[in-house]
Structure 1
Amino acid sequence: MKKLKAFIIKCMGPLYKILFKTRIENRRLAKEKKELESQINELTYQVNYLKHHFDIGQMKPASGYLREFQLAEVEYARYILDLLKPYDIQMYLEGGALLGAKRHKGFIPWDDDIDIAMSRADFNKLLHVLQTDPNFVWIDTTQKSGYYAEYYDKNIRANANKNVVLMTPTCVHIFNGTCLRDAKNLEFFPNDFLKEDVTEEQYLAFRDKVIAFIRVPHAWKELFDFYEENWKASGIYSMEPTSRIVPGLGNWDLTEYGYHGFRHHDDVYPTTTIVFEGKELPCPNKAEVILDREYSKSWRDYPKDIGFPQTLLDRNNYFKLIGEPLIDYKEF
């Protein structure tokens, strides 16, 4: 009897799989879903535990390729700042670089660039230096065409291991490398002083105008011309110091981030220094006040944005497009 039952199962098994293929597949998917839900629940518990018990400031730095790149980046930053020192340009860490300096004493573990800001007067001085000092190669980006990553790559390759300056509608880059893959990158941003009699409503109305213009595709030259014309025509900005500072025209923060109120002059000046990966870098006077305003006090807590740096994602999209191997920052 057992042999007969075994024989029937052996014969009917393949037929059962054919007749009940959908049912079998659904069972398999249901089992996988249950296992996946269990893993998600476990990960959620672990993340929630870390949020309450882990000091993000004590997070280990990056390792492997990313760490090597970060350390090369900070050495390059110190080198460029030393080149600019004779020109008496007051600048200070901005954005993620400032957050990393205060929270991690260096890079946010998954970040890979350094942001530096300054007043409009100092930004104009910087542009002049970058166009006239022989240590830099100024590229006329008013004639820029094509995909921006391709444009960066082309100019870096054409000026291998030189300090290549590329002014974009959102910042000024200084690259140094043999191609976009290995190029170190500093980003410089202008901030503007707001006239004392300008109301918040007037400023926000002008900001909305700028954002509306930026959202429509334009050639870079059109954007540069728009900035120059409207900086003067708006009547809201001052070249001389005032009590209020805002992200300047041509600053990524102006159009890509939300409005967080005005910075006070004394929050930024006089600038000071801060230890960043063991190096002294320029820093605003009241870094924590600036970070509290821009990120809220939650910047001290477990962050929501743990992961790959945006610059890596942008570069890898370009490498994928041209058929080159992607950069792998994985540490596990």
Structure 2
Amino acid sequence: MKNRVFNTGETPEDLKRIYNYDGSTLRKAQLRMIEMLSFLDNICKENNITYFLAFGTLLGAKRHGGFIPWDDDMDVFISSSELKRLRKIINNGDYQFVIQDNKIDKGFVRYYNVLRDLNSEYIKDEFVHNQRKYRGVQIDLFPYDYGVMESGKKLIGMTMGFNEKFLLGKYPFLCSLFFKIVRNFIIPLFRFFSKFRGKKYISLGYEGVSLGYTYLAEDIFPLGKIEFEGLTVPVPNKIEKILVVDYGKNYDFLPDIDDRNQHRVLDIKFYK
């Protein structure tokens, strides 16, 4: 991979020099996330919990052997039921990481969860981000499910957008009540009906809210393995098919410079 020349004419060395050179703030954040991924992997192995790389992290593993050079977070898939168990294990333990959800952070009204580092902080000029108690370097924990209905995800996504735009930081009681109604009643209702739709397809779950991201279950399981920044971690068994769904047939091409998204992070601070 070191000798590769991408479609833009850039090499891995060029990208590293521009984005995540050794000692850069971004590279420090990526190294912290590697620690977090190693921690997550060990916890999941010890407790027989299944997870696998997703989205940009999966793309980075395939195309770069690790992080997309400009990426400042990580994504993994985990089943909805096992996420509950993982959250209990980590949040009841004595670790430098926490799984962020609305129970421990009332300013976090997303339906998926996030593994946060307690010794760092993303600095963003973003209202929603700055309402949260935990703002450290992160791994997004996206639930997956079988038989997910796109209409359900669309509705749930609209509720999240409404809550963040109109209630968060302004009407705490209504914000919390609205979140609990969706999280404890509407999402379980859609999940109940999904049980009758079979197990041929796996999708980003209702908590993920984004439309699309539906895959053949046989393209994911049984899981394979890949090297990611020196770690051997689980991935779907047919990576190429998954990436075509996520990014199109040209997933292996680098995007234009203006399209290299860094999630609007202004800076990253480290406290340990």
TM range (shorter): 0.7 to 0.9
Confirm whether residue 281 of structure 1 aligns to residue 241 of structure 2. no
Question: Residue 203 of structure 2 is aligned with which of 246, 254, 275?
Answer: 246
The amino acid of 1:187's aligned partner reads: D
The amino acid of 2:187's aligned partner reads: W
SS of the equivalent of 2:255 reads coil
Confirm whether residue 176 of structure 1 aligns to residue 117 of structure 2. yes
For 2:178, the equivalent position in structure 1 comes to 222
What is the rounded CA distance, in whole Å, between the counterparts of 2:262 and 2:85 in structure 1?
A: 30
For 2:84, the equivalent position in structure 1 comes to 124
How far 1:181 moved relative to its partner? 4.8
Question: Residue 154 of structure 2 is aligned with which of 208, 226, 229?
Answer: 208
What is the rounded CA distance, in whole Å, between the counterparts of 2:80 and 2:198 in structure 1?
A: 10
For 1:259, the equivalent position in structure 2 comes to 212
Instruction: Determine which structure has more spread, i.e. the larger CA radius of gyration.
Output: 1
Structure 2: stretches of 5+ with no match in the other structure: 124-135, 168-174
**Contact 2:70–2:260 (Cα < 8 Å) also in 1:** yes
The amino acid of 1:191's aligned partner reads: Y
The amino acid of 1:243's aligned partner reads: K
Confirm whether residue 236 of structure 1 aligns to residue 193 of structure 2. yes
Name the count of aligned residue pairs: 235
How far 1:53 moved relative to its partner? 5.7
SS of the equivalent of 2:219 reads helix
For 2:172, the equivalent position in structure 1 comes to none
SS of the equivalent of 1:236 reads helix
The amino acid of 1:54's aligned partner reads: G
The amino acid of 2:137's aligned partner reads: K
Question: Residue 114 of structure 1 is aligned with which of 64, 68, 74?
Answer: 74
Greater helix content: 1
TM-score, length of structure 1 as denominator length: 0.61
Greater relative CO (CA pairs within 8 A, separation 6+): 2
Q: Percent identity?
A: 23
For 2:9, the equivalent position in structure 1 comes to 54
For 1:141, the equivalent position in structure 2 comes to 102
How far 1:214 moved relative to its partner? 2.4
The one-character-per-residue Cα deviations of 1:166-223 (angstroms, maximum 9, x if unpaired) are xx5143222224341594322211011117xxxxxxx233233223322312525532
SS of the equivalent of 2:218 reads helix
Structure 1: stretches of 5+ with no match in the other structure: 1-49, 149-167, 196-202, 317-325
The amino acid of 2:231's aligned partner reads: K
How far 1:275 moved relative to its partner? 0.5
TM-score, length of structure 2 as denominator length: 0.73
How far 1:266 moved relative to its partner? 1.1
